[in-house]
Chain A
Amino acid sequence: MTLWKRLFSSGSAPQARERLQILLSHERQVLGGDDLLSRLREDILAVVAKHVPCGQDNVKVRLERGTPMSILEIEVEVRGDIDLAISRAA
């Protein structure tokens, strides 16, 4: 490693941190099988799909664990512009 790089590189740890944050936010959604998040995801999907077309991959449920408060984030992607009148009738 050159002197320049040695002085100005911030090490490899920030990369480890970033890779983990991206990977784990994904894995927390997909993995777990019968845990709370997957059950929530399935229930939410069932309710939303009754009214608007919505696929398995369009519901994202994320839990950021923390003390004293955790944040449960629910994101539902729906294709195109929803016509509220039609959706309600459907």
Chain B
Amino acid sequence: MAKIITVTSGKGGVGKTTTTAAIGAALARTGDKVVVVDFDVGLRNLDLIMGAERRVVYDFVNVIQGDARLPQALIKDKRLDSLFLLPASQTRDKDALTEEGVDRVIGLLAQHFDWVICDSPAGIERGATLAMRHAEIAIVVTNPEVSSVRDSDRIVGILDAKTLKAERGETVDKRLLLTRYDPVRAARGDMLKTEDVLEILSLPLLGIVPESADVLKASNMGVPVSIHEPNSAPARAYQDAALRLKGENIAMELPRQRGGLFSKLLRRAA
């Protein structure tokens, strides 16, 4: 039976889709069977970040409405055999996703995969609450910035109220993923520190992803950042986060950008 993860944040643009693709690919790289599911009906983008935009034939809504079977809509990743994508539809009908439809599809996916990762749309409307409905683990993606922290706090409240787990009187396992973190600015006092965000939100930390040009490079190429340049700082941060999800005890350190000018010169001299 699969573990169901929802990647959420409330605020848009903080890195939910990047995180879904990166964690999905990092887990698949360890050999696990992973499906990433785009819940952003009308504004799908996970297909683009995964580099599968030209291979979308059927989508989540087609499956719910019975126009396609689930295996027809699943897109297998070109690089990793055990990674699949269920794309969202581009329909403008926001009610195309129904509770019953989502329950059925997630139930089917959970039988065949080790991990089902739901990429939530921004906001706190229907799409977001449907994406978190089945979550056992919620990755709350947060930037060290006031509006993102505020929205994350709001989302935590909703995770405690509107999920199936909450309805059963249980709690969703919520983990904080701090993204776009700049240790130099934090040390200078111009950016909230990891400890500040942790203290304010009181969530266990899943990982810290440093601000890095590699994230944009990977999305330009349509490759999850965790496998694009596997040794880059954000790639290692996502790989570590994936291993922590698998229960491994990985020390929390901020991956640093390797290969500055100085070390390049040294390597060349050696």
Contact = CB atoms under 8 A, between A and B. Distances in A.
Interface string B141-155: 000011001100110
B200 interface: yes
A28 interface: yes
B204 interface: yes
A65 B159 CA distance: 14
A35 B202 contact: no
A24 B150 contact: yes
B67 to A, nearest CB: 35
Q: How many B residues are at the interface, by size bracket?
A: 20 to 34
Contact of A12 (B156, B189, B196, B204): B189
A11 B202 CA distance: 23
Interface residues of A, number: 25
Q: Could you say which of A14, A20, A65 has the most chain B C-beta atoms within 10 Å of its C-beta? A: A20
Given A17-B200, A36-B160, A12 B190 contact: yes
Contacts of A67: 204
B192 A16 contact: yes
B164 to A, nearest CB: 15
Interface string A15-56: 011011101100110011111100000000000000000000
A17 B149 CA distance: 10
Contact of B146 (A19, A27, A31, A32): A19
A32 to B, nearest CB: 5
B154 A35 contact: no
B191 interface: yes
Given A32-B161, A64-B202, A13 B186 contact: yes
Nearest to A9: B189
A53 B186 CA distance: 49
Given A21-B200, A36-B160, A14 B150 contact: no
B3 interface: no
Contacts of B203: 65
Interface in B160-210: 160-161, 186, 188-193, 196, 200, 202-204
A62 to B, nearest CB: 12
A13 B153 contact: no
A2 interface: no
A64 B203 CA distance: 11
B260 interface: no
A66 interface: yes
A35 B145 CA distance: 26
A65 B199 CA distance: 10
B247 interface: no
16 contacts: A9-B189, A10-B189, A12-B189, A12-B190, A13-B193, A14-B189, A16-B146, A16-B192, A16-B196, A20-B149, A27-B153, A32-B161, A34-B161, A35-B157, A65-B156, A65-B203
